[in-house]
Amino acid sequence: MTDSEPILDPVLDPAAMRKQYRAEGLTERDLATHPMDQFARWFEDAARATLRGTLYEPNAMVVTTADAAGRPSSRTVLMKQFDTDGFVFFTNYDSRKARDLAENPHICLLFPWHPLARQVIVTGTARRTGRDETAAYFRSRPHGSQLGAWASAQSSVIASRAELDAAYADLEARYPEDEKVPVPPHWGGFRIAPETVEFWQGRVNRLHDRLRYVARPDGSWRVERLSP
C-alpha cells in the first residue's frame, strides 16, 4: 500500500475510528491527598472491572526507558507491588530496560485502562530492589516462571525457538516440581519512586480531565490540572 492509496473499508481506517467517552468527570475535590492513595482507588476499580470481564490484566503497564543517548524504548510489564514509596516490577537485569536504567534511571509508566476510559501516567526514577525483596517475590512465582527466569537471556538474540525450549527443558530436568529453584543473580526488581502521577479521565468531546500530582521537595504533593 502506497501513501496515496486510500483505505476504503472504514472499519480499517484509523482516522474514522471514534469512541465517545461518557464517563463521569474527575475533580480536584475527588482526589486523595497522596497520589498512591488515589492510585489504590483507581486500581481497585480496574481490578473489579477485571472480575466482570471488561478489563484484562489491570497491573499491566507500559514501561518507557531511554539509554544514555536518549534513545527511548517501550514495552508492557506487569506491576507486582505498589505502596506509598512507589511501584515495583521484576525483570532480567541484562534486559534492554535494565541496561537503560543502569545508564539513565528516569522512567515513565503508563497504565492503559481503556474500558474505564482512564489512564495513569507516572514519571520518576528507578532503583533496584534489595535481594531479600527479590527472593521473596521469586519464591511466590509459579515453578515454571522460576525456570523461565533462568532459561531466557532476555533481550539477547537467539537462533531459534527450539534453542529456548531446549534450555527450559534442561532446567525442568534439573529442577523438578518439588525442587527448590535458586534465585538468578541476574534477575530482580526495580522500584519506581514517582515524581509526577497523572490521572486521566476520558470525557465527552475529547475534553478530558487530567489531574497531575507533582512532588514537592518537602515530600508533599501539589495538584495541577492539565488541558486535554
Catalytic annotation present for 203: no
CA distance 138 to 188: 8
Please count the other Cβ atoms lying within 10 Å of the Cβ belonging to residue 128.
16
The amino acid present at 122, given as its one-letter code, is V
CA-wise closest residue to 146 among 183, 98, 195, 114: 183
Determine phi and psi for 137, rounding to 5 degrees. Answer: -70, -40
Q: 3-state DSSP call for residue 228?
A: coil
Q: 3-state DSSP call for residue 21?
A: coil
- Residues 35, 30, 226, CA angle at the centre, nearest 5°? 70
Which residues make Cβ contacts (< 8 Å) with residue 88, sequence separation at least 6?
A: 79, 80, 81, 82, 129, 133, 189, 190, 191, 192
Per the residue annotation, which of 22, 29, 206, 216 is the catalytic one?
Answer: 206
Residues designated as active site = 206
